[in-house]
Amino acid sequence: MTNKQVRILTVVFEPEITGHQVSQFRGAIIDRVGRDCILFHNHLDDNEYNHHYPLIQYKRIYRHASIVCIDKGVDEIYRLFSQPDWKIRIGQEEKELRIKQLKVNKYNMNVWDKFFDYRMFNWLALNNKNYQLFNQTQSLAEKIRILEQILVANILSFAKGIDWRIPEDCKIKVMIKDIVNKKVINFRGGLLSAFDIDFSTNVFLPENISLGKAASHGFGMVRRLHKHSKQQETTKK
């Protein structure tokens, strides 16, 4: 299958939340809809995690609590919309969800003969193994090469998650143009390196999907970069 049509539903809610509250927002939605739908939480049971690419992702989009539903995830959002009570608890505060913006798009996934430009925010690229390799590498060019290999793997994970089978003769290409920011974040009690990067790839990626570790929590969120938009993306995040 050289191409695949994928549906993306983006729901932006009132209220506004902080970046640290995304995980709390995720937990509140899971509590509201119940744990019988795996796509909302990606756990097979209390002890076993489903390592498939998450098709329901929780975000902070322009400061607002948001959910991005991908492919089969679009069909499951009714479990939230059908709830009679939209009050949730984020931390110590009770908040009522109200839809600020709802947008549905269809994308034709393909490997193209041209490149598209993106910025990715808070990308958790490194696991324990490649973290050591990355830090032991002295050359900046080699560090970039390592990150590019990881990014290709992340895109392939997304493709597998939406059942897009890429022919072997179609090679995914990525080029990291700039590491805009690198910081250390606390996630689930551990300290992880998070990158903001500008990159190009020959795959057209849907707006606001996430790639890499903790994609369901909104890390590694992708936005299309247009001309003159680099500064805008920094200020709007």
Its pTM surpasses 0.85: yes
Residue range(s) of every CATH 3.30.70 domain in the chain: 4-107, 111-236
Question: Which tokens in the block code for residue 183?
Answer: 């910081």
Query: So what's the architecture of 4-107 in CATH?
Result: 2-Layer Sandwich (3.30)
Residue 22 has pLDDT above 80, yes or no: yes
The pLDDT of residue 227: 66
Q: Are 218 and 113 in contact (CB under 8 A)?
A: no
- The CB-side HSE value for 96 (13 A sphere, CA atoms) comes to 3
- The CB-side HSE value for 216 (13 A sphere, CA atoms) comes to 23
The pLDDT of residue 203: 95
Question: Which tokens in the block code for residue 91?
Answer: 């931390």
Lowest mean pLDDT among 11-20, 35-44, 56-65: 35-44
CATH number belonging to domain 111-236? 3.30.70
The pLDDT of residue 188: 79
The pLDDT of residue 139: 94
Lowest mean pLDDT among 39-48, 82-91, 97-106, 142-151: 39-48
Question: Mean pLDDT, to the nearest integer, of 86-108?
Answer: 92
Residue 43 has pLDDT above 70, yes or no: no
Residue 50 has pLDDT above 60, yes or no: no
Q: Are 13 and 60 in contact (CB under 8 A)?
A: no
The pLDDT of residue 1: 47
